[in-house]
Structure 1
Amino acid sequence: MTKPRYDNLFWDGTEIRDQLEEDVDLRCQLIFSLMTYSNVTIFELLRFIFSTTIPSIHHRASLFLADRSTSDEHDNDANTSTSFHPATILKLWYKNFPKARPGIDRMIQPYARDIVLHESDKIIENKSLKVIAKSLTQASVENITTPGMLVDTYQELAPFTWDLLWTISASPNDHRKALIRTGGEDKVEEEEDDWDDDPNLEDGPDIDPMAVPARVHGFSRNPLFPVLVSISMLTFVRNRATNALPLVLGLFFKIEGTSSRVMKMLSNVGLCVSSRTVERVRKGMSSPV
């Protein structure tokens, strides 16, 4: 069938035109009344709309699914719901039918897994995240460790995965939520580290201090780093060639005197490369680390 059996000419020959109201809600009520009278369920109607090959109906369905959003970083949820109509429907399901949420979540999960897998594929196929041990130099180590380089790469290749992990690490817990409600200040425990007191810090390469976000208010640790390391570990475990951060961390741990047993444990969880790999790298580097 190339066109609907009931087109405008059919309706022009009825009295229904006299029943059409200017108000969209009233017209929708009229259509719903016709559905009820003809014993057509919402599921049957939607399945027909999105599965039919009739060009005019398929075109209308395509318009509904069109993504009118922009790449503007200032886009918010409200803009998304108006620029992508299925998002509006999904929000209405969540808001008005809370008992349906478990089923909606089960429906979304397989597609979320597909997105994560696709983003993981892009990471392990990215050449900039693969370091050949024999070609590693002091300059390449500094390039990998430059603040923002790996962050930008992961955010570009895996935005969904990054946001997912960021939600886990950066969302305030009940204690912080209570402090926010009362206007209190979270006491950030001062941690003893050498980051600010490193006498050699100024001797390193010029870096953009804004490349890595500052510590999130109320957090004693920057949530960005667990996200960064998590993605590195997960993709390194999946593909040992995606070794940019694990290789640098392995060098750091070895130089700082980490024992072979600890190195083996860290390597097994995907945080760094093995001790043997580090030794091969140190011997093959063209300039000292």
Structure 2
Amino acid sequence: MPFHKLLVFFLLLMSLFGCDTPPKHPERAGVALSFDDHFLKEWAALIPLFRKYNAQVTFFINCPDSLSAEDITLLKQLRNEGHEIGYHGTIHGVSTQMIQDLGVEGYLNTEIRPGLSYLNKAGFYPTSYAHPGGNHNTRVDSVLLTSGFQILRDVALAERHYKGFKLYHIPPQYLPQIYYDFDQERVVDALLIDYSANLSQEEMKDALVKAKEKGKAVLLFGHEPLSAPPTAKQYGFDISFLEKILATAQELNLKFYRMSDLPNVKD
């Protein structure tokens, strides 16, 4: 049996024989959606969709030095809708390599402080951070958490490839790291929902149902909103796929969380 099928089989067995205790706070069940990079016009076009489902989300901005006056207006529009403006780095670099080569101050002065300065001047003060490329280690995390960020978001993948071959595909409901347990954890993982993830609507519904049953928040993220499959240079998610997620969350009466909301939910 191929490795990826063995892995899924093992996870299924764990789910069948694991303890199934009722959630402490079922009313907290929800979903935390976030979106990365610099697709401001495309994100702003989703405002009516988010309004339709009363959803609040987080937008992680990179390369803030290139923000135009129009971009800043769009960001303010998103914020006025109740969405969170998070931070995704100045140059979208490899954090672990930078901190190793440049030291803590060099890393902060290259990746963190310049972009924050641009955002601050535009009136934004992010408290959540998405690791560029999901690259980080405990040293990077420690530096960022002591620099004022409340929560750091990493990347989780349901499907991985190597040299063009699929290594495995794990249904999201069997990825425990994408579920937030409201334990004030400040380093978290979100599942990629772009086209490249090859997720089905059934898999996403199962993931949302699990969040409902366990009283947890499932963390999801994407990049550019697309109305058709991506071209060679594009990377993003299907807008209709997102709407199905939003509609299912509403049907299940799930709450929508911004990233900085999560560690602040307390007993």
| Structure with larger RCO (C-alpha < 8 A, sep 6+) | 2
**Structure label with greater radius of gyration:** 1
**Taking structure 1 as the reference length, what is the TM-score of the superposition?**
0.22
Structure number with the higher strand fraction is: 2
Structure number with the higher helix fraction is: 1
**Taking structure 2 as the reference length, what is the TM-score of the superposition?**
0.23
